[in-house]
Structures are given as structure tokens and as C-alpha cells.
Amino acid sequence: MMEWPEKVTIKEVGPRDGLQNEPVEVPLHDKVAWIDLLSEAGYSYIEFSSFVHPKWIPQLKDAKEVAAMISRKKGTTYAALVPNRRGLEAAIDTDVDEVSVFMSASDTHNKKNINKSIEETYPVLKEVVQEAKLEGKSVRGYVSTVFGCPYEGTIATDQVARVSERLLEMGIDELSLGDTIGVANPRQVDQALHEWKQWLPFDKLAMHFHNTRGMALSNVLVSMQHNITTFDAALGGLGGCPYAKGASGNLATDDLVHMLHQMGIETGIDEEKLKEAAVYIQGVLNKSLPSHQMQVVNKERV
Ligand code: HMG
Ligand code: MG
């Protein structure tokens, strides 16, 4: 019999990784109302926005206002993505609990995403991590395109390990490995995790799957078999990556929570409240959200 964890931590990235890829810019008050509904659903972690250049990601240009207006719940970590020192300073001004730095395992995707090669990115992030620590903030480090890149194809596991090790050496508290374009299959995830176990501290590891080809939940199951118990997800399956053509939605939080609860695994998240939050943002975006849970909800509503 397979062994399953008793509890899994889900990090909601919808307000950042979901909305950054929407063609519509969600009005500030709707964003705030949505994030407040997410907080009510019982998450321990919400990535609410990013402090990046507004020309690059106009959808999140109101990060400062969002941070000021959301109701922060005790026990929930409110985090924001920052690409550099300027972003970090803006984030700290809004009193975030945690910042996330990010880079890619593929040089081409990294350049498209943050306008720097992998080598040029290390000193920028090193300074951000150091500065964030001095300010008493915890730091999460994302590595994207870990199973495949839209420009370079398959990425070698040792390349992912090398980039991850550099971030860990800088002092990040958690490492999130992203299947940005959703190409990984369960066997590949199993093999990669076997290899990464030699190099990476699994107690600091989170997985970030996208459901482009319908394999995200299967990849979560495989990851749990490697004792990974932290997963990123976006409500309703929102999102993608603006600099990775073909990257469709993130793993849907509502599908993940439903599966875990059906398996008797705790998440601390209230499914009814989650549904309420999903229906809300679906109405704002004026489109059906792709998660299976929302497809059921939408059929019931017809
Ligand atoms: P750049 O053009 O190379 O920046 O962009 P620069 O350093 O040359 O500066 C150019 C101008 O930008 C300057 O202003 C700076 O002050 C300003 P000017 O003097 O021309 O008036 N600037 C900024 N403004 C606001 N906020 C800042 C900032 N930094 C510089 N933080 C930069 C470099 C990193 C800024 C840009 O490429 C950028 O903002 N990229 C963000 C891209 C992004 O957010 N991508 C999506 C997130 S990553 C992802 O989705 C993957 C992940 O979700 C995992 C997964 O899904 O697998 C994490
Ligand atoms: Mg993502």
C-alpha cells in the first residue's frame, strides 16, 4: 500500500500567477475582495501580487494598493514576487510577510522573463535575498521550466539542481520547482525527484505544476510519494506564464483540495468558501474557469 501524508500545505498563487496572465486587468476593488474571500477560505499562504515592472506585467501594477487594502488574517502569510532590489524595496514598504525571488532553469526563458541570463541573475537575487533577510523577511525561491522550456526543450535534472543550489546557498527558506509549461509526466517527475534527492533538501521543497496536458494532479500524487507536502496552486486553474507560450493554467487549487480531502488528507481549506471565491473571480473575469470543480459548479448553475 502507498503511504500518504496526513496534511498538505497549499500555497495559493492565483492572485499573482493566475492574474498575471489574464488579458483583462482586474479592477483593484475586485482583486481585494477576491483575496479577502481567499483569506476566509483558510489558506496559510497567499501570494497576492508581484512588484515587477508594470510595462512587463500591467495586470499587477496595483500591487502596492492591493497590499494596503486586503484584510490580512492572522496565521496567513501574505507574499509577493520580486525580481530585483527595486521590487524588494517596494514590497517591504507594504509590509509583506515573505518575498519570492524567481529565475528559470533555462537561459532563454530567463532572458525572456527577466531580461537577464542565468549568470547575470545570480548577483541580483543574492542581493535581494541578503537584503530581505536583513529586513527579517523569509524568502521563497522559484525555479521555472524545470521539466521543459518552450524554447530549449527538455531541461536536464542536474541543470535544475545547479540553479536550485545557488538559490539555496543564498539562503532561501523554500524552493519551489515549477513545471511552467505543464509538460512533466508522472514517471518523469518520479525519476527527477529520485535524482534531486541527492542534491536538494526535500524538507524545503515545494512543487509547482501546471495542468496544460492534464497531468498536474498525477504529478502531485507522485511527489507525495517522495514526501513532498507543499504544493502551489491557483484557484480555478487560472494562469500560465506570459513568457512561456503554451503555458496554460496552474494546477487548480479547487481540484487539488477536493482530491486531497477525498483521500483523507487535511489542507485546512474550506471547500465551500473556496467555491465562493472561485465563483466570484469567474464572474469578474467573465469566463468559465478551467478547473474540474468549476465545470461541475457551472453545470449546476445552468
Ligand atoms: P529591465 O528592463 O531589464 O530592467 O527589466 P532595468 O533594470 O534595465 O530597468 C529598466 C526600468 O525598469 C528602469 O526604469 C527601472 O527603474 C525599472 P526607468 O529608469 O527606465 O524609468 N524597474 C522597475 N520598475 C518597477 N518594478 C521593478 C523594477 N525594476 C526595474 N521591480 C525586470 C527587468 C526584472 C524589471 C523586468 O524584466 C520585469 O519586471 N520582469 C517581470 C516578469 C514577470 O513578472 N514574469 C512573470 C513571473 S515568473 C513566472 O511566472 C514563473 C513562476 O510563476 C513559476 C512557474 O509558473 O513555473 C514563478
Ligand atoms: Mg505557475
Active site residues: 241
User: How many CB atoms within 10 Å of residue 130?
Assistant: 14
Whether 168 maps to a domain, the answer reads yes
Closest protein CA for atom 28 of ligand 1 = 53
Residue 180 in contact with ligand 1 by CB distance below 6 A: yes
d(CA 137, CA 245): 33
Q: Cell 468549476 appears where?
A: 294
Backbone φ/ψ region at 295: left (φ over 0), alpha (ψ -120 to 50), beta: alpha
Q: Whole domain around residue 175: which residue ranges? A: 9-301
Domain count, the chain: 1
Q: Where are the alpha helices (DSSP H) in 115-252?
A: 118-134, 157-170, 186-199, 216-225
Closest atom of ligand 1 to 176 CA is: 54
Residue 47 in contact with ligand 1 by CB distance below 6 A: no
Give per-residue pLDDT as tens, 69-86: 999 999 999 999 999 999
Residue 209 in contact with ligand 1 by CB distance below 6 A: no
- From the CA of 110, the nearest ligand is 1
Whether 72 maps to a domain, the answer reads yes
Whether 2 maps to a domain, the answer reads no
pLDDT of the residue at 193:
98
pLDDT of the residue at 245:
65
User: How does pLDDT run along the chain (302 residues), one tens digit per residue?
Assistant: 889 999 999 999 999 999 999 988 999 999 999 999 999 999 999 999 999 999 999 999 999 999 999 999 999 999 999 999 999 999 999 999 999 999 999 999 999 999 999 999 999 999 999 999 999 999 999 999 999 999 999 999 999 999 999 999 999 999 999 999 999 999 999 999 999 999 999 999 999 999 999 999 999 999 999 999 999 999 999 986 666 665 578 999 999 999 999 999 999 999 999 999 999 999 999 999 999 999 999 998 77
| φ, ψ (nearest 5 deg) of residue 135 | -85, 5
Closest atom of ligand 1 to 146 CA is: 57
Q: Which residue from 16, 17, 50, 53 has its CB within 8 A of the most atoms of ligand 1, so it is best to mutate? A: 53
Residues 6+ apart with CB under 8 A from 88: 51, 82, 99, 128, 131, 132
The grid cell for 98 is 515573505
State the distance from the centre of ligand 1 to the C-alpha of 56, rounded, in angstroms.
7
Are 275 and 42 spatial neighbours (Cβ–Cβ below 8 Å)?
no
Whether 4 maps to a domain, the answer reads no
Whether 208 maps to a domain, the answer reads yes
- From the CA of 176, the nearest ligand is 1
Closest protein CA for atom 14 of ligand 1 = 53
Whether 295 maps to a domain, the answer reads yes
pLDDT of the residue at 301:
74
Residue 241 in contact with ligand 1 by CB distance below 6 A: yes
CATH number of the domain within which 161 lies: 3.20.20.70
- From the CA of 178, the nearest ligand is 1
Closest atom of ligand 1 to 50 CA is: 44
Query: What torsion do the CA atoms of 228, 233, 239, 244 make, to the nearest 10 degrees?
Result: -10
Whether 3 maps to a domain, the answer reads no
